[in-house]
Amino acid sequence: MARPRQLKLGAFLMAPGHHVAAWRHPGAQADLGADFRGYAAIARQAEAAKLDLLFVDDVLAVKDTRPATGKRSARSAFFEPLTLMAGLAAVTERIGLTATVSTTFHEPYNLARKFASLDLISAGRAAWNLVTSNTEAEAQNFSDLPHLRHADRYQRAEEFIDVVIGLWNSFDDDAFAHDRTSGVYYDPAKLHVLAHRGRHFAVRGPLNVRRSPQGHPVIVQAGSSEPGKELAARTAEIVFTAQQTLADAQAFYNDLKSRVARHGRAPDELLVMPGIFPVVGRSRQEAQDKFEALQALIDPAVGIQLLSDMIGGFDLSAYPPDGPVPDLPETNGGKSRQHLLFELARRDGLTIIELARRIAGARGHWQVVGTAQDIADQIEERFTKGGADGFNIMPPTLPAGLTDFIDLVLPELRRRGLFRIDYEGATLRENLGLPRPTRRGTDQAQAAE
């Protein structure tokens, strides 16, 4: 019998909370970015709540790229995602482990190997959020060349992911015999040489890591530009996205599902999980008070610094904060978020400091402040009206903001039959309802020597 369609929910862990001033709030652990035990406690809490996955983002640089009066948000230093997820694999059993790694600053072979290892270590719970990286600050940590152009980054990523999937398919699932009698450890006919030669990479293979119980890691993408959506439609199984309104969410959802079909894939092979920044109270007033308490902690210079980074790396501190958001050229950064922020400023006639305060928590994602019923109502509407297959929860503070969602909103979603009581399976794919991939990608007929 088909499973009832239920929400897929991830916990987007940005230490010590998504709000730019979270670290100054008593509900946040200010040094979480350097405390594995703090992350482990949060991971176990999320797993006990039966959430689908944990997700950590990544930028290959100190995120606050401009010192602002010596005050910073807490995004200056944080764990490398794959390393963190390998540690969390050892303290959890069922929750998915999603790490962000950039195709622009890695090579396919070692990235395929690390994720395949995480997938085996976690018994089939790994997921890779593929990004191409948006900032010059990152490019400067790898060479003195300028950052690749946006279109070139995605062209490289298209080839990169095909090589990684081809490498993940090096050994067939039943390649290993471990036959002590005959002395045959694995069947060489079930080991495949990739022999990839392309514009960006020449990778012979095979990969020296086996497939996992879920085949290979789940592929996640968060692009929203034309090349970003095409890459996602061809290869991704989860897409993260920032959508302000139900109409925007429906348009993005329909666009992506139609693109998936054009790539010969079934629409339910790709789950659309927009971000939600929930501020939950036992009353609307309590929720509003919680939000205002966070907003009151925003240092204007830090808020404008975050906006500068999000709007494409322009230094808005050079403009009057009470003045309009200036017309700025399209940058080589992420296209869709810059566009979303300009639209928001124009639509609501926001000054620089007003826009900075507006995005200080959710950074352009969907922000909902209210009771558990209010938030569940809005989640249910987007889920049932074709705006999402699930959501990436962005707790304002960690751990308190996640605790609020788990203790207050999840029971309301379960009461409505919208979220699981227990995990359906052992692997991330089983719990997401995604097919276990058979071997695909380029491979050579002959076995490896």
List interacting residues with ligand FMN (CB under 6 A): 57-59, 100, 131, 133-134, 222-225, 228, 240-242, 275, 334-337, 392
Specify whether the CB–CB gap between 95 and 51 falls below 8 A.
Answer: yes
274: CB partners within 8 A, 6+ apart: 240, 241, 242, 243, 249, 252, 365, 366, 382, 387, 388, 391, 392
Specify whether the CB–CB gap between 239 and 256 falls below 8 A.
Answer: yes
Beta carbon of residue 197, minimum distance to ligand FMN (angstroms, whole number): 27
Is the bond leading into 16 cis (omega within 30 degrees of zero)?
Answer: yes
- Cα–Cα distance, 63 to 37 (Å, whole number): 23
Q: Nearer to ligand FMN by C-beta: 131 or 428? A: 131
Beta carbon of residue 141, minimum distance to ligand FMN (angstroms, whole number): 13
Q: Nearer to ligand FMN by C-beta: 101 or 369? A: 101
Beta carbon of residue 443, minimum distance to ligand FMN (angstroms, whole number): 29
Residue 375 carries which side chain, given as an amino acid letter? I
Q: Nearer to ligand FMN by C-beta: 46 or 209? A: 46
Q: Please choose, from the candidates 287, 312, 311, 298, the residue with its C-alpha nearest in 3D space to the C-alpha of residue 357.
A: 298
Q: Scanning the structure block, which residue is given the tokens 């072979």?
A: 109
- Residue 177 phi, psi (nearest 5): -95, -35
Beta carbon of residue 411, minimum distance to ligand FMN (angstroms, whole number): 25
Q: Please choose, from the candidates 73, 117, 129, 9, the residue with its C-alpha nearest in 3D space to the C-alpha of residue 305.
A: 73
Q: Nearer to ligand FMN by C-beta: 76 or 208? A: 76
SS3 42: helix
Q: Nearer to ligand FMN by C-beta: 154 or 171? A: 154
Q: Nearer to ligand FMN by C-beta: 102 or 169? A: 102
Tell me the chain's radius of gyration from C-alpha atoms: 22
Beta carbon of residue 65, minimum distance to ligand FMN (angstroms, whole number): 13
Q: Nearer to ligand FMN by C-beta: 58 or 158? A: 58
Residue 100 carries which side chain, given as an amino acid letter? T
Q: Which residue is nearest to ligand FMN (CB)?
A: 228
